[in-house]
A and B are shown apart, each in its own frame.
Chain A
């Protein structure tokens, strides 16, 4: 069965550094999402992406965050200047029309 693939599985970064989280959505899916989950807390929506542009973003998704689909297969989340509170699991999800969202295994981001 097709899967959403995320890399790396664990990223450790110094505060203030830039980090890029990578996702390969399921082929032919149209909608792409990033969510995050701080340890012990809810899964929170960050951003959705459709037709090569952001369709919705949350209050969390401020100017430090950006997303890109550079080559038609990868979907990336960039955090420009990381903060301690950015430490979380980051999940990518993709969706086909009228089907539920499927999640990748996540990237654990640890900011030191």
Chain B
């Protein structure tokens, strides 16, 4: 029973275009959402986050959108660069006395030059 789902295992985008990575969640108690980026043979690194009181958070080329009614969030990368090629994990946590974070299965992004 996956509480955080990334239904696209992979995504291929041309350099300069927009990359849109999607994530769905089932637990309405989640109130903090994060995206992590992972290169091969390295650990995941924090990319961007959003609190449930917001619907958008922007950091340079990266924007995360949250639609609480649909239990859906997305990561937009504009413009995409070859160095963005990595696995992106969506994660969610709930402030319920413990901060266990639940991760999605990841989406592998390929940005073609």
Partners in one complex: no
